[in-house]
Amino acid sequence: MDRRKFLGQAATAGVAAAAASTLPAPAIAQSMPDLNWRLTSSFPKSLDTLFGGIEHFAKRVADMTGNKFKIRTFAAGEIVPGLQVLDAVQKGTVEAGQTASYYYVGKDPTFAFDCAMPFSMTARQQQAWMLHGGGYALMREFMKDYDVHPIVFGNTGAQMGGWFRKPIQSLADVRNLKFRIAGLAGQVFAKLGAVPQVIAGGEIYPALEKGTIDAAEWVGPYDDEKLGFVKVAPYYNYPGFWEGGTQVTLMINTKHWEALPPLYKHVVETAAHETCLDMLAKYDHLNVISIKKLVAAGAKLTPWPRDVLEAAWKASHQLYDEIAAKNEKFKKIYGPWKAYRDDQYQWFRVAELSFANFSFTAQQTVK
Amino acid sequence: MDRRKFLGQAATAGVAAAAASTLPAPAIAQSMPDLNWRLTSSFPKSLDTLFGGIEHFAKRVADMTGNKFKIRTFAAGEIVPGLQVLDAVQKGTVEAGQTASYYYVGKDPTFAFDCAMPFSMTARQQQAWMLHGGGYALMREFMKDYDVHPIVFGNTGAQMGGWFRKPIQSLADVRNLKFRIAGLAGQVFAKLGAVPQVIAGGEIYPALEKGTIDAAEWVGPYDDEKLGFVKVAPYYNYPGFWEGGTQVTLMINTKHWEALPPLYKHVVETAAHETCLDMLAKYDHLNVISIKKLVAAGAKLTPWPRDVLEAAWKASHQLYDEIAAKNEKFKKIYGPWKAYRDDQYQWFRVAELSFANFSFTAQQTVK
């Protein structure tokens, strides 16, 4: 806080000094205790749109509470390994974590609804579902079993489909493809005949260079640019149809959430939601700069062939039906989720998509 | 605040009681004086996604300040007429207002960059520009002359193109069309040979019914449904290419903004941004429900013919060039704004649009 400025205002507003000496002061202090939280991320600091989200959030919380509610941020591996954020929050090792819920589909594929899955919703559709379409109620009930209170915490927008050493010209080229891709998307690619690979981030480049793997997916232009894949696997496929609008989640340990004074609960929820707006805006801003640089560096933008998309669409829904048949929790959410998605898809074709289809190409097509 | 719950937590957290009796209490009270603001809207309560935005915002601010910063909300006409929000904020009659900046293009067309104009950006692109692409700096500098500090406050998403008594099948059908449409969009339609009409909201229905006008544009399915236009002008055109992502703005009187304690500034900015996320999610959620009802009630979804879109694209940029030639403030923003828009359009064609084009139609096309 700029003290000089504050004194200036207090004089102008005229009420600050009075308030300090009257009854409300202890009431506010009581509802705003000094508090220190630790917030651990699934992401390294180098992914600065994602990790930057928790820095932005922690600053907002500190700023809105006069620095009384302090949140220390930790990158993946500093105190908790990146893929164990859920576990650390569940155990209460940390009060909160920033993660992508689909990292936990091994525990239960139901986590994917809180993040992204093949042909799930776009960023806006996912936000509509979570905030107004019943998503919050469903996901919060599901995560109660993990002692987690989830809050929507960001979105990457539609991601790219990865880097390929050779162009994919038809579904036949997917067969036996050694593709670094995980989770439900990996299972869909397995159904298409590919061989999904699980490789840590740092090992992808040498594996692509040597040809140990044929392709790898990561995020989108801004994050991908840093890893330099363009030099060893220049075919840059799109879209990442398994990440049409990948949600980032703030997982809070339920006991710590419930122990928060109401004022802090409002601050946390508001700041987390605001972080969504900021993160998506930042991605949309930065991706534009990076896609130009990548193309200049030799990236060959390659759309998925239609037969791959169609086969993936069928394989995805087949997979969801298989999971729903044996997993009650998944089934309970899949029904309303799919109905919601289908309706959203239909409506977005009207105003939003027709605007985009004409306007985004008019520079080239209207003479 | 639920007092019982709070006491329970205080006991758990253990720190609240201590904080109340130590030094920080007066400091917090000083930075959180009792404050009452009036926030007047350009919209009636019946437009509950828009007006609901300020109710949501005021509640967030109250909740995050222990009810010390109270904001009373007023609908259009209660204390200030809907189209005079800027003037009331500028004069300091009210501390803040919710409005659509394009209502003030009569004062200066530069206001349109803060809201929407023909072939401007989508909701996400507009948010990227404002928050990370330099938009805030440009718009805040521009509005200084009006003693206004603007904060992004919401978005409707791409709107529909209005209700027509007869189908528009080609550009020829636009000539002499009496179309209720205002601002820069009206000027573009005038260039296409239409006769833009300015009619207050409540008079549109009878004018459409009698045929005094041929067509009228409003917002999108959820807001349009309430006005019942489907009964008298069933052709529901799309997209509203002059409202690809209409921004709502929180205008704050500069003196009142500068007099706010820093903590309250953070609360206001965070809550306003969070309101954006919430409003757009609410529109996306509700429009789906309404578009179905409208189609069931006889709305005939009609895309604009390609020749209308192309002529409008050309007329829009011609208009912008004309304005820039005689308005230095407009010109200063138009250059960087257009470069930004063009880049955003190009990038969004890749991942986002290819995902949408395949996925949104796959239900119908993939067997």
Q: How far apart are CA A234 and CA B249, in angstroms?
A: 43
CATH of the domain at B115: 3.40.190.170
pLDDT of residue A85: 98
Specify if B124 maps to a domain: yes
Tokens of B157: 């998403």
Instruction: Give the tens place of pLDDT for each residue, A265-320.
Output: 999 999 999 999 999 999 999 999 999 999 999 999 999 999 999 999 999 999 99
Q: Do B258 and A9 touch (CB under 8 A)?
A: yes
Q: How far apart are CA A178 and CA A165, in angstroms?
A: 11
Instruction: Give the tens place of pLDDT for each residue, A34-67.
Output: 999 999 999 999 999 999 999 999 999 999 999 9
Q: Do A263 and B68 touch (CB under 8 A)?
A: no
Which residue among A123, A262, A282 sits closest to B2, beta carbon to beta carbon? Answer: A262
Specify if A52 maps to a domain: yes
Question: Which of A190-199, B18-27, B86-95, B183-192 shows the lowest mean pLDDT across its residues?
Answer: B18-27
Q: Do B352 and A122 touch (CB under 8 A)?
A: yes
The DSSP code sequence of A141-168 is HHHHTTTEEEEEEEE--SPP--EESS--
Closest residue in B to A364 (Cα) is B346
pLDDT of residue A25: 52
Chain B residues within 8 A of A6 when measuring between CB atoms: 30-31, 261-262
pLDDT range class, residue B32, cuts 50, 70, 90: very high
Q: Bridge-partner residues for B97, per DSSP?
A: B40, B251
Which residue among B28, B267, B287 sits closest to A29, beta carbon to beta carbon? Answer: B28
Q: How far apart are CA B6 and CA A291, in angstroms?
A: 50
Q: Do B344 and A6 touch (CB under 8 A)?
A: no
pLDDT of residue B367: 80
Chain A residues within 8 A of B301 when measuring between CB atoms: 350
Q: Bridge-partner residues for A36, per DSSP?
A: A70
Chain B residues within 8 A of A263 when measuring between CB atoms: 1, 63-66
Chain B residues within 8 A of A31 when measuring between CB atoms: 1, 6, 16, 66
Instruction: Give the tens place of pLDDT for each residue, B319-363.
Output: 999 999 999 999 999 999 999 999 999 999 999 999 999 999 999
Chain A residues within 8 A of B160 when measuring between CB atoms: 350-351
Q: Compute the nearest-CA separation of B142 from chain A (Å).
A: 22
Chain B residues within 8 A of A221 when measuring between CB atoms: 347
Specify if A164 maps to a domain: no
What is the DSSP code (8-state) at residue A93? S
Q: Compute the nearest-CA separation of A61 from chain B (Å).
A: 9
pLDDT range class, residue A4, cuts 50, 70, 90: very low
The fraction of chain A above a pLDDT of 70, given in percent, is 93
Q: Do A366 and B310 touch (CB under 8 A)?
A: yes
3-state per-residue secondary structure call for A24-65 = HHHHHHHHCCCEEEEEEECCCCCCCCCHHHHHHHHHHHHHHC
Q: How far apart are CA B234 and CA B254, in angstroms?
A: 45
Res B21 pLDDT > 90 = no
Question: Which of A95-109, B9-23, B86-100, B179-193 shows the lowest mean pLDDT across its residues?
Answer: B9-23
Cα B130 to the center of its chain, rounded Å: 13
Q: Do A239 and B280 touch (CB under 8 A)?
A: no
> Three-state DSSP class for B301?
strand
Q: What are the CA-CA distances from residue B94 to residues A147, A289, B91, B97 (Å)?
A: 46, 41, 8, 7
Chain A residues within 8 A of B119 when measuring between CB atoms: 359, 362
Q: Do B288 and A343 touch (CB under 8 A)?
A: yes
Specify if B25 maps to a domain: no
The count of CB pairs under 8 A between chains A and B is: 354
Which residue among A1, A258, A303 sits closest to B31, beta carbon to beta carbon? Answer: A1
Instruction: Give the tens place of pLDDT for each residue, B228-264.
Output: 999 999 999 999 999 999 999 999 999 999 999 999 9
pLDDT of residue A136: 98
Res B15 pLDDT > 80 = no
Closest residue in B to A363 (Cα) is B342
Q: Do B363 and A345 touch (CB under 8 A)?
A: yes
Which residue among A25, A267, A359 sits closest to B26, beta carbon to beta carbon? Answer: A25
pLDDT of residue A21: 40
Specify if A64 maps to a domain: yes
Higher pLDDT, A237 or B28: A237
A232: closest CA among A298, A141, A280, A147?
A298
Q: Do A19 and B29 touch (CB under 8 A)?
A: yes
Q: What are the CA-CA distances from residue A231 to residues A196, A201, A218 (Å)?
A: 22, 16, 15
Tokens of A56: 């932005």
Q: Do B19 and A34 touch (CB under 8 A)?
A: yes
pLDDT of residue B25: 52
Chain B residues within 8 A of A119 when measuring between CB atoms: 359, 362
pLDDT of residue B349: 97
Q: How far apart are CA A230 and CA A216, in angstroms?
A: 11
Specify if A229 maps to a domain: no
Cα B81 to the center of its chain, rounded Å: 18
Instruction: Give the tens place of pLDDT for each residue, B64-78.
Output: 999 999 999 999 999
Q: Do B351 and A6 touch (CB under 8 A)?
A: no
pLDDT of residue A20: 40
Instruction: Give the tens place of pLDDT for each residue, A308-364.
Output: 999 999 999 999 999 999 999 999 999 999 999 999 999 999 999 999 999 999 999
Q: Please give the average per-residue pLDDT across B36-46, as a whole number.
A: 96
Chain A residues within 8 A of B284 when measuring between CB atoms: 124-125, 127-128, 132, 344, 347
Which residue among A16, A158, A363 sits closest to B261, beta carbon to beta carbon? Answer: A16
Q: Please give the average per-residue pLDDT across B97-111, as a whole number.
A: 97
Which residue among B258, B282, B356 sits closest to A353, beta carbon to beta carbon? Answer: B356
Q: Which domain range does residue A65 map to?
A: 30-157+245-285
pLDDT of residue B231: 96
Chain B residues within 8 A of A48 when measuring between CB atoms: none
Give the strand order in the sheet containing B235-238: B195-197, B178-180, B215-216, B163-164, B235-238, B300-303
Q: Compute the nearest-CA separation of A78 from chain B (Å).
A: 26
Res A156 pLDDT > 80 = yes
Q: Bridge-partner residues for A252, per DSSP?
A: A96, A149
Q: Do B26 and A31 touch (CB under 8 A)?
A: no
Tally the domains of chain A.
1
Q: Please give the average per-residue pLDDT across B269-276, as a whole number.
A: 98
Q: Please give the average per-residue pLDDT across B115-135, as a whole number.
A: 98
Specify if B39 maps to a domain: yes
pLDDT range class, residue B83, cuts 50, 70, 90: very high
**How buried is A65 (Cβ within 10 angstroms: 0-12 exposed, 13-18 middle, 19+ buried)?**
buried
A40: closest CA among A102, A83, A2, A11?
A83
Closest residue in A to B56 (Cα) is A270
Q: Do B363 and A346 touch (CB under 8 A)?
A: yes
Specify if A80 maps to a domain: yes
